[in-house]
Amino acid sequence: MAVDDLISQLSGRGEKARLEAIKDLKQVGEPAVAPLVASLLDEQSPVSWSDAGVILRGIGRPAFWPVVEAIAVAASPETLRRCAWAFAGFGAEVIDLYARALSHEHPRVREEAALGVQYCKEAGLPALPDLLPLLAAPDDEVRQRAVWAMAALGEDVLPLLQQVRRSGPGHLRPGALRAIAEVAGEQAFSDSDRAAVERLIRIKLTREAAEPIEGCGTCGSWLALPTSDHRAICEALDLSTPRPATMTLGFAAFYCDGHGMADDNQRMGRVFLTPRLDGWTLVMGPWYAYADADWAETVRACRELSERFGQAQCYWHDAQTGSGSWVICQGGELIRAYDQDDRHNEAGPRLPVEQGKTLSFEEDDEDDVEGTYCDALMVAAAMSVSPDSIGAQTQVHGHGLLALTKFGRQYGVPNGTLPI
């Protein structure tokens, strides 16, 4: 059957005929490449872009460079997405071609070639010498994709990266440090690199300004205590190895640890103790790691902490849905508890900030509930300090710390680079 007939068969109504056409077009090979690429570049094409991509991937090497050029000339975000999807899946059989594409003049081709290498995982190691220059690419997206690709290649990339850190070339040294952090974490840093990072943090701390977490950054759990005694907090929460951290660094660790790809044990590995903010220290992250994380244990822990520090408030906020929970304790007594997952756990009278407002479980009631929605950020702002309302008006004393929980001591913390 002619190529045009087979391609027409892809958009027909018969599933069996479509599957047979996919199989036949893969066998046809190079003569089928041009019309399939044209269908990717045509948003009105009746051919499914995923079918076209699957066939081009199956054709392999003869389709590689035509798809590269399609990425370079794609006229819309949608056609670019289609072409990039096809391109990323050619596999390790064409790792030599991916390596060559890493030096293509078009930055999006370089970025997608790095993604193709990333998908090859350890089999992509032959492309490492060609991937290395992208650590100094002028485009942020290309540099970041190169770092992620190196992480996927595994720890066999470390000797080359560490050599760059020792001997240069100089323009690659910053990117090499980021890649080392992404591949194996800070434990793979040399003594001199570790000292340089610590020195930069100390310098940044001298001119740090209070700023709120931006965007969806306030997503997770935190504890508020009316003290600046970091040592006492570490003792109470079984935290160890406290190290100075800017608020930028600490808030980034809080967000990235909770939303990255590390396993659950590492995601529970560290917390950020803020400077004293308007009289309160916030412990951002899994502060409860020293105890069980169920609701009853959270309430018990908060009561005990309030007995020690006078007050203790714990919060949980979901930045995507706006839902959340809070526990407010004073002098060892529970003042207010609200659990968005189980209304039967609610305890104590509503706080003044909650009056006349809607709580999340009330949205399920049969009667219409009117009023402003009340979330954990709103309660925190009224009762202590909300992480998203820190700013120039906030009184700041001291500096923040990153500290390890018992999980961090046993399992480590997530790899990756964080802003300072």
Let me know if 133 is exposed, middle or buried by CB neighbors in 10 A (0-12, 13-18, 19+). middle
Q: Quick check: 292 pLDDT over 80?
A: no
d(CA 170, CA 179): 15
> Could you tell me the pLDDT band of residue 210, with boundaries at 50, 70 and 90?
confident
What confidence tens digit (pLDDT) does each residue in 32-78 have?
999 999 999 999 999 999 999 999 999 999 999 999 999 999 999 99
Angle between helices 77-88 and 61-73 (to 10 degrees): 160
Q: Quick check: 365 pLDDT over 90?
A: no
Q: Give the amino acid at 230.
A: H
Close Cβ partners of 122 (under 8 Å, ≥ 6 residues apart): 153, 154, 156
Close Cβ partners of 142 (under 8 Å, ≥ 6 residues apart): 107, 110, 111, 114, 134
What confidence tens digit (pLDDT) does each residue in 234-271 have?
999 999 999 999 999 999 999 999 888 788 899 999 99
The DSSP-derived string for 153-199 is H-GGGHHHHHHHHHH--GGGHHHHHHHHHHHH-GGGS-HHHHHHHHH
Query: What is the SS3 assignment for 197-262?
Result: HHHHHHHHHCCCCCCCCCCCCCCEEEEEECCCCHHHHHHHHCCEEEEEECHHHHHHHHHHHHHCCC
What confidence tens digit (pLDDT) does each residue in 11-30 have?
876 888 888 989 999 999 99
**Cα separation of the two ends of the chain:** 61
pLDDT mean across residues, the chain? 92
Domains, the chain: 3-196 (1.25.10), 220-411 (no CATH)
Does this model's pTM top 0.85? My answer is no
d(CA 80, CA 75): 7
Q: Structure tokens of 89?
A: 């899946």
Q: Quick check: 366 pLDDT over 50?
A: no
Determine how many CB atoms are found less than 10 A away from the CB of residue 187.
Answer: 11
Q: Give the amino acid at 102.
A: L
Looking at residue 350, what DSSP letter applies?
P
> Could you tell me the pLDDT band of residue 216, with boundaries at 50, 70 and 90?
low
